[in-house]
Amino acid sequence: MSEQTTNPVGKSVPRVDAYDKVTGAAAFTDDLQFGPGLLFGRAVRSPYPHALIKRLDVGPALELRGVKAVVTGADTPGFIGLYLKDRHIFCTDRVRYVGDPVAGVVAASEEIAEEAARRVVVEYEELPAVLDPLQAIQPDAPLLHPDLGSYDVVPFIFPQPGTNISNVFRVRKGDVEGAWAQCDAVVADTYRVPHIQHVPIEPHVAIARWDLSGEVTLWSSTQSPFAQRDLIAHTLGISQGDMRVIGNYIGGGFGSKAGVSMEALAVAMARQVPGRPVKVRMTREEEFYCCFVRQGLVARVKIGGTKEGRILALQVEYYWDAGAYTEYGVNITRAAGYSSTGPYNIPNVKTDSYCLYTNHPVGGPMRGFGMPEIHWSIEQSVDQLAEALAIDPVAFRQRNCVQGGDVIVTGMTMHPHGLSECIERVAQRIDWGKKEVPSAPHKRRGKGVAACWKAPAMPPNPGSEAWVRFNEDATVSVGVGGQELGQGAFTVAAQVAAEALGIPYEWVRIANPVDTKYSPYEWQTVASRITWSMGNAVKAAAEDARRQILEIVARYWDQDPGDLDIRGGEVVSSKSEQSLSLRNLVVYGLPLPDDQGWIGGPIIGRGKFMPTYVTGLDPETGQGARAVVHYTTGAQAAEVEVDLETGRVELLCIAAAYDVGKAINPEQVHAQLEGGVVQGASSALLEALTFQDGRPVNASFVDYRIMTAVDAPQRILTDFVEVPQDDGPWGARGVGEHPMIATAPAIANAIYDALGIRFNDLPLTAEKIYLALQGA
């Protein structure tokens, strides 16, 4: 406790988890020890993209020495799913993607479990597969979910029984048809985004144990301990009170560890061997297509504007390749619809966003939740329109970008925000408008810009809860249910608690790991919502504790609590100039004069936050008073150099600026922006999970290339603007996902500037660029 950082909000204090992570002391889920009783589970997986299960014989697996149990779909008849309950834990009659689990084997070792899994006999009858979203939407396409109409679904998702459409979101605003005639230029194009994967450094892992008492414990590498508790308990008929999820540190999530993917397998397997913990972990290959992938997208965009530089009309159709089941896909489709204009004020909008079942891996949430995918098309279309109107792309964006007070695409009034300033800053930082000289005659340079917005995409009422509990020496434990994925959530929680209590940052301890049995509730660590929502809950809990302390001391001093404050860990009175250390009083209370008893006692503050103002939207028009809690906006600019002889793109510089409302920890904001830019650049230039007849062909790091340090942009210039959010802690709003949204289109726009060639399909591999140059 040598350092004493008072008022830490806005300061780049070191991370609370830095020491443990640097020294290797931090425990990740697979590090946990369970002793000799630990069993291992492996899944039997479908080799077909679409087939009926005709026969299943687990006998040969059970004969193997060391095998404890085999579980099949017959043991898990219920449905599971976050928004739309459309899948079984183990398939019952039908498999819908290569990798779909049909059975699970529990054995004394992972090797035996694997060997036994290979002995399970499954006979399939192959069915025609749907491998493209445009095929999925055809009336004669094979149906993946004939029972779609009977699935449980939340009220704001609209499955279309008898089709492969699991959700549709429409916007009808203004008069698009009438507006085209008033446009001086209209451009239309189709863009494609492939499946990519989150590739967290730590693959998914879960350990489950059913105690004979009926308590079920799941240790998992998860962004969503509480959602896992709720969903798995619901499906397996466990009381939420008996289901306990413990989430240790996470080696990267990026959305892949949100909701439930493979964790339910472990719980279903453990049910067969009461009292014994069962560990299931994904191989890297399984990670690529047995958990979640980012959804694919085909986007058709038509956009028109006037020569004065106003965007008048936008018509988009989004066809989401959501894969075999949806967990989150239906809501990504919705978010894409209600954000379909990008951060622009467009009076006439027609949007149809379709979530389509295909026989691809399950599409899940991935950093940006649909926004990187749609901005790929929006931000290139905006550039195309600017060019058609002969207007500079930066000026064009400035003229059209949404302002505080504007009524946006869903009818909601936009809150104040700093997008214009973000655009201006990134343009400045890459010397927008200045032509650069290439480093060699066979190279070309270009610059591009892209703006973006994203709202937390979630149900209207996701809650956060927190507690703040004092120890004798006035250090505090802060209980949170949000997860530390590497993004710095625990550090922010500690800063918020310290600031609101009036104690030094170094006095705060985060009560981790998150354990649903002891930790306060948190909906999920997704949607860039934690700093904002959990931050509000922690702040409220700290203020609650602070109030309790001040009331006690006020009584002790016989003063008005309003005259007291806590500063640097001491209660001070502005009236009497007395001061009192928090030590001991926060646990033992204070004695009354003349030995007349005691007041106070252990201090524990509680707080919560839940948005209460989000309204529904009309299913036909997408209009409503308030679609979302808020939008975080920002912009990126890229400078690239393309080698004409190889097609390789060198990322010379990427500038990124976002309006974070308030940077609780500026260094963490910069780090988040850098990380997002690199992940965005990797998705721009390299990443695609590719399939042959529905089978992934590059599901390993041999052939799924991701950006390395030497491939990353040579310079990443990060910046933030602070226009406060009215209901954020000190004005903060989230920025976890946003840094990846604008990167790919900014790079594509820069490549267009360099080569005059527009690329509609990700990724922009050297080969694709080279071959296009030959065709040009």
Q: Which residues pair with 468 in a beta bridge?
A: 478, 605
Please select the residue that binds another protein; options are 708, 715, 726, 756, rule is CB under 8 A: 708
Helix axis angle for 743-755 and 666-685, nearest 10°, is 50
Nearer to another protein, 549 or 707 (CB): 707
Shortest Cβ 645–another protein spacing (Å) = 4
Q: Kindly state whether residue 387 participates in binding another protein, applying the rule CB under 8 A.
A: no
- Report which residue type is found at 679: Q
Interface segment toward another protein; rule CB under 8 A; list 138-146, 183-191, 427-435, 695-703: 695-703
> Which residue in 327, 373, 674, 737 is the catalytic one?
737
Nearer to another protein, 554 or 712 (CB): 712
763 upstream amide cis, omega within 30 of 0: yes
Burial category of 724 from C-beta neighbours within 10 Å (exposed 0-12, middle 13-18, buried 19 and up): middle
DSSP state of 477: E
Token reading at 134 = 């445009």
Burial category of 390 from C-beta neighbours within 10 Å (exposed 0-12, middle 13-18, buried 19 and up): exposed
Shortest Cβ 220–another protein spacing (Å) = 17
HEC readout, 77-128: CCCECCCECCECCCCCCEECCCCCEEEEEEECCHHHHHHHHHHCEEEEEECC
Q: Which residues, other chains included, contact 661 with Cβ-Cβ below 8 Å and sequence gap of 6+? A: 532, 632, 722, 723, 724, 725, 728, 731, 732, 733
Please select the residue that binds another protein; options are 1, 212, 437, 702, rule is CB under 8 A: 702
Interface segment toward another protein; rule CB under 8 A; list 27-35, 53-61, 358-366, 700-708: 700-708
Interface segment toward another protein; rule CB under 8 A; list 145-153, 238-246, 651-659, 705-713: 705-713
Q: Kindly state whether residue 99 participates in binding another protein, applying the rule CB under 8 A.
A: yes
Q: Which residues, other chains included, contact 441 with Cβ-Cβ below 8 Å and sequence gap of 6+? A: none
Q: What is the contact mask toward another protein in residues 34 to 73, using x (rule: CB under 8 A)?
A: --------x--x-x--------------------------
Helix axis angle for 535-557 and 489-501, nearest 10°, is 20
CB 61 within 8 A of CB 70: yes
DSSP state of 291: S
Q: Kindly state whether residue 286 participates in binding another protein, applying the rule CB under 8 A.
A: yes
Count of residues making up the chain: 776
Please select the residue that binds another protein; options are 30, 285, 421, 473, rule is CB under 8 A: 285
How far does Cα 63 stand from its chain's mean position?
Answer: 43
Alpha carbon of 443 to those of 449, 570, 645, 654: distances in Å? 20, 63, 8, 19
Interface segment toward another protein; rule CB under 8 A; list 48-56, 229-237, 266-274, 683-691: 683-691
DSSP state of 533: I
Count of other CB atoms within 10 angstroms of residue 332: 33
Helix H or strand E encompassing 448: strand 443-454
Shortest Cβ 566–another protein spacing (Å) = 51
Nearer to another protein, 86 or 641 (CB): 641
Interface segment toward another protein; rule CB under 8 A; list 111-119, 121-129, 465-473, 613-621: 111-119
Nearer to another protein, 79 or 704 (CB): 704
Q: What is the contact mask toward another protein in residues 436 to 475, using x (rule: CB under 8 A)?
A: ----------------------------------------
Count of other CB atoms within 10 angstroms of residue 541: 31
Q: Kindly state whether residue 711 participates in binding another protein, applying the rule CB under 8 A.
A: yes
Count of other CB atoms within 10 angstroms of residue 195: 25
Nearer to another protein, 110 or 392 (CB): 110
Please select the residue that binds another protein; options are 212, 437, 710, 776, rule is CB under 8 A: 710
Q: What is the contact mask toward another protein in residues 255 to 284, using x (rule: CB under 8 A)?
A: --------------------------x-x-
Q: Kindly state whether residue 321 participates in binding another protein, applying the rule CB under 8 A.
A: no
Q: Kindly state whether residue 559 participates in binding another protein, applying the rule CB under 8 A.
A: no
CB 684 within 8 A of CB 747: yes
Shortest Cβ 359–another protein spacing (Å) = 17
Shortest Cβ 49–another protein spacing (Å) = 15
Task: List own/partner pairs for 611-620 with CB under 8 A and 24 or more apart.
Answer: 611/460, 611/461, 611/462, 611/533, 611/727, 612/461, 614/460, 614/461, 615/460, 616/155, 616/156, 616/460, 617/156, 617/338, 617/410, 619/158, 619/170, 620/170, 620/172
Nearer to another protein, 407 or 706 (CB): 706
Please select the residue that binds another protein; options are 54, 602, 697, 756, rule is CB under 8 A: 697
Shortest Cβ 288–another protein spacing (Å) = 10
Please select the residue that binds another protein; options are 19, 25, 118, 472, rule is CB under 8 A: 118
Nearest Cα to Cα of residue 465 among 452, 474, 478: 478
Which of the residues 754 through 773 are near another protein (CB under 8 A)? Answer: 765-767, 770-771
Nearer to another protein, 11 or 705 (CB): 705
Nearer to another protein, 497 or 638 (CB): 638
Please select the residue that binds another protein; options are 20, 111, 406, 472, rule is CB under 8 A: 111
Interface segment toward another protein; rule CB under 8 A; list 112-120, 232-240, 422-430, 623-631: 112-120
Kindly list the strands in the beta sheet with 514-515, ordered across the sheet, starting from the edge strand earlier in the chain: 67-72, 101-107, 39-45, 278-281, 205-210, 216-220, 243-247, 514-515
SS3 39: strand
**Known catalytic residue at 126:** no
Nearer to another protein, 1 or 710 (CB): 710
At which residue do the structure tokens 């920890």 appear? 665
Please select the residue that binds another protein; options are 667, 705, 727, 731, rule is CB under 8 A: 705
Shortest Cβ 669–another protein spacing (Å) = 28
Please select the residue that binds another protein; options are 698, 757, 760, 772, rule is CB under 8 A: 698
Helix axis angle for 371-388 and 743-755, nearest 10°, is 30
Most distant pair of Cα atoms in the chain: their distance = 95
Q: Kindly state whether residue 678 participates in binding another protein, applying the rule CB under 8 A.
A: no
Token reading at 200 = 């967290």
Interface segment toward another protein; rule CB under 8 A; list 20-28, 59-67, 114-122, 555-563: 114-122
Q: Kindly state whether residue 703 participates in binding another protein, applying the rule CB under 8 A.
A: yes
Nearer to another protein, 40 or 249 (CB): 40
d(CA 776, CA 752): 12
Q: Kindly state whether residue 686 participates in binding another protein, applying the rule CB under 8 A.
A: yes
Shortest Cβ 111–another protein spacing (Å) = 6
Nearest Cα to Cα of residue 253 among 375, 372, 365: 365
Helix axis angle for 371-388 and 393-400, nearest 10°, is 110
d(CA 607, CA 184): 54
Count CA atoms within 13 Å of residue 156 on its CB side.
Answer: 24
Q: Kindly state whether residue 645 participates in binding another protein, applying the rule CB under 8 A.
A: yes
Please select the residue that binds another protein; options are 236, 322, 366, 707, rule is CB under 8 A: 707
Total site size for another protein, rule CB under 8 A = 37
Shortest Cβ 644–another protein spacing (Å) = 10
Interface segment toward another protein; rule CB under 8 A; list 192-200, 312-320, 527-535, 692-700: 692-700
Shortest Cβ 255–another protein spacing (Å) = 23
Count CA atoms within 13 Å of residue 111 on its CB side.
Answer: 1
Chain residues binding another protein by CB under 8 A are: 42, 45, 47, 99, 110-111, 114-115, 118, 281, 283, 285-286, 645-647, 685-686, 690, 697-698, 700, 702-703, 705-711, 765-767, 770-771, 774
Catalytic residues: 737
